[in-house]
Amino acid sequence: MKTRNLSKAQIEHIGAAAGQTFSLDTYNKAKAEQEEAVKALAPDAGAGVVGYNVNPNSMQGFTTPLRVEDLDAMVKQLTYGQEQFVFFNKINKEQVQSTVRQYISYDKHGEVGHALAMHEGELSKISSPRFTRKQVRMKYLSAVRQVSIQAELAQGVSDPLGEATRDAIITLAGSIEWMGFYGNSGLHSASDTEGTEFDGLTSLIDPKNVIDLRGKSLSQDDLQQAAITISRAYGNATDAFLPNAAKAKLVNDLLPSQRVFMGANPQRNVIGFDAPRFQSVVGPINLNGSNLMDLPNILDEEDDNVSGVAPVVTATAESTTKLGNFLDSDVGQLNYKVRTVSGQTKSPIVDANAKIAAVTDTVNLEVSLPNTYGNPVEYVEIYREAASGSYSLIGKVSAHLANGGKVSFNDADETIPGTVDAFVGDMSPEVITLYEFLPISRLDLATLTAMNTWAFMWFGALALFIPRRWVRLHNVGAYDVAPQR
């Protein structure tokens, strides 16, 4: 029912025609009574319908409060799981009995060849093999979790204690996996003598065994070169570890040589393929694709583990030394993001930029370290913008190298943003082993409140006994796709 607003003159005219006297107040009162009657006669908007409301504070009416809510009993996992750990799951593990593990390497034979050929009655000079004793220091990782007693008692689709336990184990294994590739014990504050990370492959592989692809996709020739390099150190390349974003480019480059055999049922014909292994001239190499290897090298600008004071950063282009090795597409403005790392926290990110006029230019970033008092800065991370707009880690500088409270990083494009690393090596236990002083174990912590608190701990380190039997392929071209955190 619709009503139309009337003026005072119209109301008085209608009243006079009817032989009655109406005032505006009388009319408004009658109108309000009419509208209430209309509402009473109309169906309740909340009656007989369910709706989408799930807030008990506003669920009123007839049917909505009576509705049973439906919650899926399966937790949907958006992040990585144990199956993603290609390196941790495959490497040989060995228990050790001390915080320092020593081993002996057989480095070289005595004299060989012509030096052993003598005239009648002569003897060769005295020679001997060469051995070296080396050591590996254990490092300590932990993941602490806490769940209230009330949370344990409350009925839910999943046990909070079990979920927290699984998460702690996975984050520990993920940290070991990442550190196995990129750990660096040389990153530490001025007050420490060494860092808390154990050395990974990037620190342990012989520098002579680094092959720089300068942004080129990984090819069969590169894998052959790595296999031959390892064979010259009397080893056999058994495995390659590389991000799937790089493996996909390797496989796609082989598509022109693919052949599809047409079967009787066309629905079963498949185009495209995966390459689980590569047959080198010295043996097969397993191609282990990973979704996690390059994850920590891509800046997470939504990281909530941020506190403290941001560093002061100055970026300056330099053209006199001609040491730069930039790409033609890099000439112009280069954008950087810098932050410091202090124990378990990271500083706010600082933006910096500089313009280069030639590919031989370099960019020097001078970083003034903030005073973090009881939590000293351990190292500085430098990220540079890739072509896709994401920021990739191009370097770290240890805080113990600071001079006058400042550290410097010289960017000559040694690491190209948007590229990745691949590692090829001999996975034999006599070549590489993950030492475990304490396998992943649970430690219940003191209970002072109605909260159960516990930690999962792992003590150990990576030992690469023969560094020349591993190869690092640096600056490998890959699909630059932002990862799911």
Backbone angle region of 211, left / alpha / beta, with phi > 0 → left and psi within -120 to 50 → alpha: beta
Residues contacting 416, CB < 8 A, separation 6+: 214, 215, 327, 475
Q: What percent of the chain has pLDDT over 90?
A: 60
Q: Which of 436, 399, 463 is nearest to 141 (CA)?
A: 436
* Residue whose entry in the numeric block shows the structure tokens 């769940």: 147
Q: What is the DSSP letter of 451?
A: E
* Element housing 288 (H / E): strand 283-290
Total residue length of the chain: 485
pLDDT for 15 beyond 70: no
Mean pLDDT of the region 295-304 = 86
What distance in Å separates the CA atoms of residue 485 and residue 174, rounded to the nearest whole number?
13
* CB-side neighbour CA atoms (13 Å) of 240: 33
Q: Please give the order of strands across the beta sheet that includes 451-464.
A: 93-95, 432-444, 451-464, 139-148
Residues contacting 359, CB < 8 A, separation 6+: 324, 325, 326, 327, 328, 330, 331
Q: What is the DSSP letter of 297?
A: G
Confidence of residue 152 (pLDDT cuts 50, 70, 90): confident
pLDDT for 139 beyond 80: yes
What's the token pair of residue 309?
Answer: 């004071």
Per-residue pLDDT tens over the stretch 190-202: 999 999 999 999 9
pLDDT for 387 beyond 70: yes
| Cα-based angle 294, 300, 302 (whole degrees, multiple of 5) | 155
Backbone angle region of 112, left / alpha / beta, with phi > 0 → left and psi within -120 to 50 → alpha: beta
Across the strands, what pairs with 278?
A: 285
Model pLDDT, residue 42: 46
What distance in Å separates the CA atoms of residue 168 and residue 161, rounded to the nearest whole number?
11
| Cα-based angle 166, 169, 170 (whole degrees, multiple of 5) | 85
Per-residue pLDDT tens over the stretch 338-380: 999 998 889 999 999 999 999 999 999 999 999 877 789 999 9
446 vs 26: which has the higher pLDDT:
446
Parallel/antiparallel/unpaired status of strands 451-464 and 139-148: antiparallel
Residues contacting 124, CB < 8 A, separation 6+: 111, 115, 116, 118
Model pLDDT, residue 249: 93
Parallel/antiparallel/unpaired status of strands 210-212 and 470-476: parallel
Q: What percent of the chain has pLDDT over 70?
A: 82
Confidence of residue 3 (pLDDT cuts 50, 70, 90): very low
pLDDT for 448 beyond 50: yes
**Candidate ranges 55-69, 79-93, 316-330, 469-483; pick with highest mean pLDDT:** 316-330
Model pLDDT, residue 396: 97
pLDDT for 121 beyond 80: yes
What distance in Å separates the CA atoms of residue 146 and residue 453, rounded to the nearest whole number?
4
Model pLDDT, residue 292: 86
What's the token pair of residue 158?
Answer: 């999943």
Q: Which of 273, 206, 275, 233 is nearest to 423 (CA)?
A: 206
Model pLDDT, residue 288: 96
191 vs 483: which has the higher pLDDT:
191
What are the φ and ψ backbone dihedral angles of 167, each rounded to 5 degrees?
A: -65, -40
Model pLDDT, residue 72: 57
Model pLDDT, residue 261: 61
pLDDT for 224 beyond 80: yes
Mean pLDDT of the chain: 86
Lowest mean pLDDT among 181-185, 194-198, 251-255, 287-291: 251-255
Q: Which of 365, 389, 252, 247 is nearest to 312 (CA)?
A: 365
**Candidate ranges 39-43, 112-116, 183-187; pick with highest mean pLDDT:** 183-187
What distance in Å separates the CA atoms of residue 384 and residue 391, rounded to the nearest whole number?
5
Taking the mean position of all CA atoms in its chain, how far away is CA 326? 26
What distance in Å separates the CA atoms of residue 44 and residue 423, rounded to the nearest whole number?
69
Per-residue pLDDT tens over the stretch 231-276: 999 999 999 999 999 999 999 888 777 666 666 676 777 767 788 9
Give the burial class of 351: count Cβ atoms within 10 A of its Cβ; 0-12 exposed, 13-18 middle, 19 or more buried. exposed
Model pLDDT, residue 1: 46
pLDDT for 80 beyond 60: no
Per-residue pLDDT tens over the stretch 17-68: 555 555 556 666 766 766 665 555 444 444 567 677 777 777 777 666 666 6
Q: Which of 211, 203, 206 is nearest to 398 (CA)?
A: 203
